[in-house]
Each structure stands twice: as C-alpha cells, then as structure tokens.
Amino acid sequence: MQAVLAGDLAELEAAASRVWNAATISSRSIQNDGSPLIAQVKLVSITILRIHDYGNRNLVNGQMRCLKCSLKSFEYCINCKLREAAKKVKGFSDVLILQFSSIETEGYVLEQLNSYKAKWQVLFLSLALLCCEFDEAKIYERNLNSNFLSSLWNPQTLEICKILYNSSVDLFSSNSMANCLVFIRACLNYIEFENATSNEKLDQRYIKLKLSLLLVECLKLENKTENNHTVEITLKMLQKEFDNCLDVYVSTLNYWRDKKTQVVVDIQEIMMTMVKSVPSRDCHEGIVNVLKNLSAFNYKALLICLDYLFANYSSPHETHDKLENLFITRMWITISKRCNLPSSFLLKDVKGYFKLAEKTFAKSISEKTRSWITTMIWKEGSLALKSRFYEEALAWFEIGLSRNLFSIEDLTDPNNDKGKLLKNVFKQFITIGEILRSHI
C-alpha cells in the first residue's frame, strides 16, 4: 500500500512539474506578452503540488515550494498587468502564508519564509499600484518599511525602488501629482539606505537621478510658491552630484527661464558649467539644442558657450561635422537673434568668430555649409546696400571672402560665389570713394 502511495505521489509531483514547465516555456515565447491562461495553468500546477504535499510527511518543505511557485506566478501576473489573474493568485498565496503561522520554523526555513513574506508584501504593493488602489499601496509601503526592511540596502530594496519609480512615472503621465509625490518621496527615502555594493550603488545613483528630476517636474506642475525652495535645493544637489548629466542642466535652465524676472542665479555660469562638464562628443546635438532654446533668454551667454564648444573640440579632424554644425548654429543665432544690437557690435562679433574659425577648422568646410553661410552674409550685405549703408555692406562682403568659405581650389571653380562677392566688394569701394570725393 505504501509503495502504491509513493508511486502515486511521484506521479503527481512529475505531473505538476510538467505542467509548470510547459506554462513557463510558453510564457517566455516571443509571441506571448502575458496570458491569463498561463496564470491559470500555473495555479493548476501548484494545486497538484499541494495535493502531493498532503500525502507527503515533509509538509514544511512542500509548502515552501508551493509558496515559492505561487509568488512566481503572482509576479508574472503583475509584470504582464493581468489584474484579475493576479488577484486570484494573491488569494492562493494568502492561504499558504497563513498556514505557516501555525507551523514552528527555525534556521534556514525561517530565514527563507521571512524572505517570501517580504516578497509577498512587495507584490501586494505592486498589485495595489497596478489596480490604482493608492491608499492601500501607501499602507503596504509603510508596512514594508517598518517590518521587513532595515536601513541597509538589499535586493528587495532595489525592487521596491523600481516599482515605486515606475508607478511615479505612470502617475506623472496621468497628471496625478499628489500621489506621484508621495511615492517619489518614499522611494527617495530607500535610496539613502547604506551597505550597497559597487553595482548596487550605480543602481542607486541612477534611480536617484531619475526620481529627483521627476520630483522637480512634479513640483513645477503643481505651481505652488512653497515648492520653489524644494525645487531649487534639488536642482543644486543634482548639479553637484550629476554634473556631467545633460538632463540636469535642461531641467535647471528651463526652470530659471520660466522664472523670468525672478532669476537669482548666474545663468551664464550654469550654461558654461554644462558645456564644460557634459561630454560634447556624446551629447553634441542635445547641448546645441539646449543652447538654441535659450537664445532669447541670454543671448550673449549663449554666444560665449557656443564659442567655447567650437574652440575646445579636442580633434578637429574627427569632429569636423560637429564643428560645421556649430559654425552654422553660431552664425544663425548671431544674425537672426540679435534683437536690437547695433550693426557695429554684430560685425565685430562675426569678424572675431571667423578668425576663431580659421584657427579651428582643420580642413575645408562642406559645400552645404559654405552655401548656407554665404547666403546669410550675402543677405546682410544686400540689406545694408539697399539701405545705403555702404561701409557696412562692404564689411559684410569682405567677411564673405574669408578663407573659411573659399579654399585655394575654389579660386579656379567657376561655379562658386566668390566672383559675385568680389564684384560687390569692388563696387562698394568705388561707391564709397565717390561719396568721399563729393564731400571734399
């Protein structure tokens, strides 16, 4: 009889394993992005295991195995956003957890059980957030903090941080700022836990960066005066701890740009810190876009930053395309965003920039860049000529003859614009000469 029973138990255990493995393989398939059926199949496997365990004297180990499987199934449902399936699996896990309260455990089993209980609470938190039951989620988070976590960093702390961060992002997207702030602040509390390994510290820093930036945006959208102090302290912290991160400067500069007349920091200093600290090779386009967006905010500081970038690329040969992009950007901003600056300032600035370009470019600029710059200069010279500002027109046309725009090979090219520019330069010399003679 015992032999028959042992054989039946072995078959039950094997059947449970086959069902579980089949569901697991199916859940990993490329086509499957979460199926309630797989969750149900896993529950069937756990049920078979429980029947097996009732006939087996080693009840504790069997229930521990069932609990582990039910938690895995619970986690699968949450990751796949299967709310109803997750609630069913949760009920199953609840029963298993409660059964352990009547069993005396010690040593490794007790340690493992406490680990599963903590995981159980983490999944409760995830399910509450998934179902938008935010009041319950706050209770679960407080229970985790007080009952299962110390002030030391551990893998479950990282898991909780990821859950809270992802939920905060979702809440921010849905414009639920009050709840978003609650979970951001809860997560930032975990980030300060100590005893993390080197790799875990990288995770901590990444989550802290993303959460702090999200906190700033959240407080800005709340648009309350009392939030300003927290925003400014957070931005200062980010600039100190993440000085090479472009997103930090984007958030900082956007905040002060929106403040307009209430700016109490040195914007030029922040802009210069950005161009000096953020790796321009990796973030060239992002840096240039940030500066472009600030053209109306601080024109002169913007030109200084663009000139610094232009003059400090370590290898002009390797970064020639980026230098050309900066050349065009600088000229476009200088001319189109000049506001009410006098022509004398503008011409002096452009001449100085062309001298800098002569020293910086290691080879001739492309036809596209040359055409773009020449068109801008031609337009400015033509406008001055039309207004009878002859000396100003002459100065623009002389800039257009810069060796930045025309290499030696261009002298023999009949298709370039140098002939037109020379013609206009000579024409202005004659006109200016005639004007001077008429006043003698």
Write down the H helix ranges in 337-408: 343-360, 367-386, 390-399
Task: Give the pLDDT score at 70.
Answer: 85
Judged on CB neighbours under 10 Å (0-12, 13-18, 19+), 373 is buried
**pLDDT tens for residues 129-177?**
988 888 988 888 888 777 656 665 667 778 888 888 989 999 999 888 8
Determine contact, residues 183/142, Cβ cutoff 8 Å.
Answer: no
Non-local (6+) Cβ contacts of 227 within 8 A are: 219, 220
Q: Which residues of 78-93 are buried (b: 16+ CB within 10 A; e: fewer)?
A: bebebeebbebbbebb
Exposure string (b/e) for 202-219, b if CB count within 10 Å is 16 or more? ebbeebbbbbbbbbbbbb
Give yes or no for a contact between 29 and 49, defined as CB atoms under 8 angstroms apart: no
Question: Do 296 and 259 contact (CB within 8 A), yes or no?
Answer: no
Q: What is the pLDDT of residue 251?
A: 94
107 — alpha (psi -120 to 50), left (phi > 0) or beta? left
Q: What is the residue type of 188? A: L
How would you write the pLDDT of the chain (440 residues) with one tens digit per residue? 344 355 677 787 788 778 877 877 877 764 555 677 887 888 888 788 777 776 665 567 777 888 888 888 888 888 888 888 888 888 878 887 777 766 666 666 777 777 788 788 888 888 899 888 889 888 888 887 776 566 656 677 788 888 889 899 999 998 888 899 999 988 888 887 766 677 778 888 898 999 999 999 999 988 888 888 999 999 999 999 999 999 999 999 988 888 765 666 788 888 999 999 998 878 888 998 988 888 777 788 888 898 888 888 766 666 788 888 998 998 888 888 776 677 888 888 888 888 888 888 878 888 888 888 888 888 888 888 888 888 888 888 888 777 766 654 554 555 666 666 666 665 666 576 566 445 44
Distance from C-alpha of 367 to C-alpha of 407, rounded to nearest angstrom: 11
pLDDT of res. 421? 63
Strand partners, 194: 152
pLDDT digits (tens, 9 = 90+) for 195-222: 667 777 888 889 899 999 999 999 998 8
What pLDDT is stored for residue 378 in this prediction? 84
| Coil, helix or strand at residue 184 | helix
- List the beta bridge partners of residue 152: 194
Between the CA of residue 199 and those of 155, 190, 193, 237, 355, what are the distances in Å?
Answer: 11, 16, 14, 22, 48
Count CB neighbours of 404 within 10 A: 21
pLDDT of residue 212: 94
Q: Which H or E element spans position 187?
A: helix 177-191
Residue 400's pLDDT is 79
What's phi and psi for 194, nearest 5 deg?
Answer: -100, 180
